[in-house]
């Protein structure tokens, strides 16, 4: 039975991949380009040199962290759509701490990352408490909190966080000693990517190997049964929300310390929203989030090369990701209908 299930799962995954490739070919043809030329440029955009290959991990880094946050929340039944806002809050808190600490160096970086984690986690707790105490929909509250966070950042970089030496809506530059260092010469591969990989290991261990992870999963699968077994549903919802928001907050801090070197508007490039799709495709599994985030970043780079050379719009990525999500949901729906018919 288990072997049959694995074979069926592999066949379904192959069908989804085939349909996605066919859809990509169709979209390229609609743009008046040759699929073979586009495919060559796609591969070249990813594997052209060491810098382009490492750029995949640079672009994947914030998606890994925000995706991990969503995975923790989704597995617990807390549908956190607020990773975007938590990213912004973490970035703001990290920038504020970094610019105001009286010392520089590794301790400054450590405290900044901790500040981003706490800020993102506390921001997510607003929706968690409302859900746990008043049964308010976390989908609505996290989306609304996104808009508050995004606009508050716009206010911050025009007021108390604006660079006093300029008129541009951005913060002062982070001191060189407080930036996350690059790890590979002539590339943008930075220490934040290592932090993201360590978070994958930590979250995987928590979710799959600990009692706390089992309780989070139990609450997500059946809150009533979990409560009857003595598991606190409210406590686990609050815990998962704090971890989820904290991971997104770390993503915001890393983007400031490693890539932008300052706080500015639009810093996340909507990775908090993309993380929801990444997590759905990954099936809420930490290693799946890592794989899907890296694949998504690679596709972005490849299609960027096609856009520059052939004029094929980069929006193809969003279309294909949406198609994959629809196909995955359709597969689950078909499986659910089939199981109901077998039980009948």
Question: Would residue 190 count as lying in a domain?
Answer: yes
pTM: 0.91
Does pLDDT of 293 surpass 90? Answer: yes
Query: For 13-20, which contacts have Cβ atoms below 8 Å and span 24 or more sequence positions?
Result: 16/324, 16/327, 16/328, 16/331, 19/323, 19/327, 20/320, 20/323, 20/324, 20/327
φ, ψ of residue 102 to 5 degrees: the values are: -80, 5
Is 25 inside any structural domain? no
Residue 13 lies in a domain: no
Report how far residue 65's alpha carbon sits from residue 293's, in angstroms, rounded to the nearest whole number: 9
Rounded distance, CA 130 to CA 141, Å?
A: 8
Please tell me whether residue 313 adopts helix, strand or coil conformation: coil
Are 254 and 192 contacting, i.e. CB atoms less than 8 angstroms apart?
yes
Residue 4 within a domain: no
CATH number of the domain residue 59 falls in: 1.10.3470
Provide the 10 A C-beta neighbour count for residue 150: 19
263 phi and psi, to 5 degrees? -100, 130
What pLDDT, on the 0 to 100 scale, is given for residue 146? Answer: 97
Q: Would you say residue 259 lies in a domain?
A: yes
Number of domains in the chain: 1
For residue 73, count CB atoms less than 10 angstroms from its CB and return exposed for 0-12, middle for 13-18, buried for 19 or more.
buried
Give pLDDT, residue 169: 93
Whether 320 is covered by a domain: the verdict is no
Cα–Cα dist 211/278, whole Å:
26
Residue 251 belongs to some domain of the structure? yes
At 39, the pLDDT band (50, 70, 90 cuts) reads confident
Give the residue numbers spanning the domain of 254.
Answer: 32-312
pLDDT of residue 18: 87
Region 285-306: mean pLDDT is 91
**Would you list the DSSP string of 40-92?**
HHHHHHHHSSHHHHHHHHHHHHHHHHHHHHHHHHHHTT-----HHHHHHHHHH
**Per-residue pLDDT at 1 exceeds 60:** no
pLDDT digits (tens, 9 = 90+) for 8-20: 767 777 888 888 8
Say yes or no to pLDDT of 127 above 60: yes
Rounded to an integer, the average pLDDT of 321-336 is 75
Question: What burial class does residue 206 get, using C-beta atoms within 10 Å of its C-beta: 0-12 exposed, 13-18 middle, 19+ buried?
Answer: middle
Whether 1 maps to a domain, the answer reads no
Supply angle C-alpha 307, 308, 312, rounded to 5.
20
pLDDT tens digits for 140-178? 999 999 999 999 999 999 999 999 988 899 999 999 999
CB 218 within 8 A of CB 98: no
Whole-number pLDDT of residue 340: 61
């Amino acid at each position: 039975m288990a072997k049959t299930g694995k074979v069926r799962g592999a066949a379904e995954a192959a069908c989804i991949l085939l349909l996605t490739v066919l859809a990509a070919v169709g979209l390229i043809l609609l743009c008046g380009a040759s699929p073979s030329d586009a495919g060559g440029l796609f591969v070249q955009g990813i594997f052209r040199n060491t810098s382009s290959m490492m750029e995949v991990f640079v672009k994947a880094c914030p998606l890994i962290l925000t995706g991990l946050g969503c995975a923790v929340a989704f597995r617990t039944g807390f549908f956190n759509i607020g990773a975007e806002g938590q990213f912004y809050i973490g970035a703001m808190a990290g920038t504020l701490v970094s610019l105001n600490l009286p010392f520089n160096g590794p301790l400054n970086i450590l405290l900044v990352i901790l500040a981003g984690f706490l800020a993102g986690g506390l921001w997510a707790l607003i929706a968690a408490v409302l859900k746990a105490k008043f049964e308010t929909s976390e989908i609505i509250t996290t989306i609304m909190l996104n808009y508050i966070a995004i606009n508050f950042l716009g206010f911050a970089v025009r007021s108390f966080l604006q660079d006093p030496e300029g008129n541009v809506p951005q913060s002062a530059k982070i001191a060189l000693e407080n930036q996350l260092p690059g790890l590979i010469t002539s590339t943008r591969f930075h220490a934040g990517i290592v932090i993201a990989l360590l978070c994958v290991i930590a979250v995987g261990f928590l979710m799959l190997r600990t009692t706390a992870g089992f309780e989070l999963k139990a609450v997500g699968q059946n809150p009533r049964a979990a409560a009857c077994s003595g598991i606190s549903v409210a406590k686990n919802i609050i815990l998962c929300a704090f971890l989820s928001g904290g991971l997104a907050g770390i993503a915001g801090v890393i983007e400031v310390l490693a890539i932008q070197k300052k706080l500015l508007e639009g810093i996340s490039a909507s990775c908090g929203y993309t993380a929801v799709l990444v997590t759905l495709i990954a099936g809420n599994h930490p290693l799946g989030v890592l794989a899907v985030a890296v694949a998504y970043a690679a596709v972005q780079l490849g299609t960027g090369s096609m856009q520059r050379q052939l004029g094929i719009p980069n929006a193809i990525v969003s279309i294909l990701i949406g198609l994959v999500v629809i196909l995955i949901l359709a597969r689950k729906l078909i499986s659910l209908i089939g199981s109901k018919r077998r039980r009948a």
